[in-house]
């Protein structure tokens, strides 16, 4: 069970569930929540028992109503530090971006079960997740221009990749709210569900992954799809594909995958993300903040 103050964390049968837990403030995002997200994502990556991670919000009104504009300490909602002159200072960094960049690095698949309002960072944080499901009462909004700021959480990178540049420009430049069906039609979400069916649907996806796939394969595939899709040339993807397949084809998981297929039985993959990632990993140099 959870020991955090603004999220709940639970693991059951290989599925981790992270619940944004500030229902009195519609699960608004805070600096504390940011820190707890970063910590819990380290936990899910480090726990071989976790095969998939679901994010949802407490209550039936909101997934996350954006940044907390009325912090309990009376401070500025956008920065918790004094003004700095050097924009390369780490204090300048956007907290939403810290979260989505950490999600981008995740070794486990991430599933958003959006159970209500998701505006501002409540919408942008979901862009770094692999599956996005919505309840039929969900509403989204990239409202930043209406607050006198701009999109954060690296969403200018994530959002056009999810829905295309024209749709991203529409939502961001108008800052309007839109419903689950519009999100579905634009490809922002995978499916729309009645409130009572949302978490079961998310768990069904997580269960499909946990029961039928190699944890090592999933970690590698996740990185390959997210990173190679933005590569300058398909040769770069071919290089990674070839090296990863070469290494994995000689490993225990590939042997089990073939044998289970030939023997017409469920596979039981022995590989662990903590110990069995191939030496090809990581194949990239992580950019530094500057």
Whether the predicted model's global pTM rises above the 0.85 cut: yes
Return the axis-axis angle of helices 165-174 and 155-163, rounded to nearest 10°. Answer: 130
* Contact assessment for residue 64 and residue 121, using Cβ atoms and an 8 Å cutoff: yes
Rounded to 5 degrees, φ, ψ at 55 are -110, 135
**Cα torsion angle, 261, 263, 265, 270, sign:** negative
How far does Cα 268 stand from its chain's mean position?
A: 26
Three-state SS at 241: helix
CA neighbours within 13 Å on the CB side: how many for 118? 31
Q: Residue 54: which region, alpha, beta or left (left: phi > 0; alpha: psi -120 to 50)?
A: beta
For 64-74, the pLDDT digits (tens) are: 999 998 766 65
Do strands 191-193 and 131-135 pair parallel, antiparallel, or not at all (unpaired)? parallel
| Structural domains in the chain, sorted by start | 7-210 (3.90.226.10), 214-290 (1.10.12)
State yes or no: pLDDT of 241 exceeds 80.
yes
pLDDT in the model for residue 193: 98
The b-or-e profile of 200-227 (16+ CB within 10 A means b, else e) is ebbbebbbebbeebbbbbbbbebbbebb
Confidence of residue 100 (pLDDT cuts 50, 70, 90): very high
pLDDT at 249: 96
pLDDT in tens, 169-189: 999 999 999 999 999 999 999
Average pLDDT rounded to a whole number, residues 234-240: 97
% of the chain beyond a pLDDT of 70:
95
DSSP letter, residue 84: -
pLDDT value for 71: 66
Treating both helix axes as pointing N-terminal to C-terminal, what angle do 234-248 and 215-228 enclose, rounded to 10 degrees?
Answer: 170
Compute the average pLDDT of residues 81-100: 87
Cα 7 to chain center, whole Å?
A: 15
pLDDT over 90 at 88, yes or no: no
Is 60 exceeded by the pLDDT of residue 105? yes
Lowest mean pLDDT segment, chosen from 3-17, 41-55, 87-101, 164-178: 87-101
pLDDT of the residue at 76: 62
User: What is d(CA 110, CA 118) in angstroms, rounded to the nearest whole number?
Assistant: 17
Residues in the chain: 290
């Amino acid at each position: 069970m959870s020991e955090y103050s603004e999220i709940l964390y639970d693991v059951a049968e290989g599925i981790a569930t992270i619940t944004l837990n500030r229902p009195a403030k519609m699960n608004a995002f805070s600096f504390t929540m940011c820190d707890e997200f970063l910590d819990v994502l380290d936990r899910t990556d480090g726990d071989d028992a976790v095969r998939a991670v679901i994010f949802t919000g407490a209550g039936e009104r909101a997934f996350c109503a954006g940044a907390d504009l009325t912090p309990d300490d009376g401070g500025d909602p956008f920065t918790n530090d004094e003004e700095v002159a050097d924009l390369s200072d780490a204090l300048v960094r956007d907290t939403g971006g810290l979260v989505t960049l950490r999600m981008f690095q995740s070794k486990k698949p991430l599933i958003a079960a959006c159970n209500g309002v998701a505006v501002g960072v409540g919408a942008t944080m979901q862009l770094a997740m692999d599956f996005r499901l919505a309840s039929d009462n969900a509403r989204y909004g990239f409202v930043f221009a209406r607050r006198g700021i701009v999109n954060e959480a690296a969403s200018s990178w994530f959002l056009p990749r999810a829905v295309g540049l024209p749709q991203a420009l529409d939502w961001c430049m108008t800052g309007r709210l839109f419903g689950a069906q519009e999100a579905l039609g634009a490809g922002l979400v995978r499916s729309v569900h009645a409130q009572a069916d949302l978490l079961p649907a998310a768990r069904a996806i997580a269960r499909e992954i946990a029961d039928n796939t190699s944890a090592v394969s999933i970690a590698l595939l996740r990185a390959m799809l997210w990173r190679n899709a933005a590569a300058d040339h398909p040769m770069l993807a071919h290089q990674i594909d070839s090296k990863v397949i070469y290494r994995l084809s000689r490993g225990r998981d590939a042997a089990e995958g073939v044998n289970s297929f030939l023997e017409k039985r469920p596979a039981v993959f022995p590989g662990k993300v903590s110990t069995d990632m191939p030496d090809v990993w990581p194949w990239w140099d992580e950019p530094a903040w500057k």
